Amino acid sequence: MRFDSKDVALTAVFATLYAVINLIQMLFPLGIYGPVQLRLSDFLIALAALLGMPVVVGVTFGCTVVNAFGSIGLVDIIFGSLANLIAASLVMLLRKRKLFACIMGAIPIGVIVGGGYLWIWYPYHPGQLAFLPVWSTTLISITISSLVAVSVIGYMILQILSRPAVIEPLKSRGLKVLEKD
């Protein structure tokens, strides 16, 4: 696939949306960093099923920008962005079955971020789960939050935007939409 100027513009829109939603969310108690988080902007990952590579690249770059503000540093910038890249790519590739694609898209974030490195900086060990290793409780927490953002919120927005009454006027103005293949 070759990017044209519309793809580049759409990529910039999604990168900016991802970053701005997170920066606004930082003003409120529901965090975007740490072992218990809900990155509302991760709902954008689900839109890769509809709009493809501009979303994949946009949410990856947006995550890079947001993680640069965090306290973990380079590890979070690299691996958090990689998690978003894999998540959005899975959603795009599995788009034929949208809900399944969204569920599968949430998993890499939980595994890479929660189980891979976040637990080292933010050990999360609630009393009820004290019998589990710390890395697994962080993996569970981040996976659940990703499922909420991508598979619940993202899937609902994807369904709304996929309706002909919404998408057809956008397509008629030149927006490229992926076919289900």
pLDDT in tens, 95-148: 999 999 999 999 999 999 999 998 888 877 677 777 888 888 889 999 999 999
pTM of the model: 0.93
Using CA atoms, how far apart are residues 158 and 95, in angstroms rounded to an integer?
11
Q: Is residue 29 part of a domain?
A: yes
- Dihedral sign of CA atoms 4, 10, 14, 16 in order: positive
Q: Is residue 180 part of a domain?
A: no
CB 62 within 8 A of CB 11: no
SS3 57: helix
pLDDT band, residue 181 (cuts 50/70/90): low
Q: How far is CA 99 from CA 14, 61, 104, 169, in A?
A: 21, 24, 9, 24
Q: Is residue 53 part of a domain?
A: yes
Q: Is residue 26 part of a domain?
A: yes
Tally of domains within the chain: 1
Q: Is residue 77 part of a domain?
A: yes
CB 121 within 8 A of CB 135: no
CATH at 145: 1.10.1760
What backbone torsions phi and psi does residue 69 show, to the nearest 5 degrees? -85, -15
Residue 23 has pLDDT above 60, yes or no: yes
Q: Is residue 179 part of a domain?
A: no
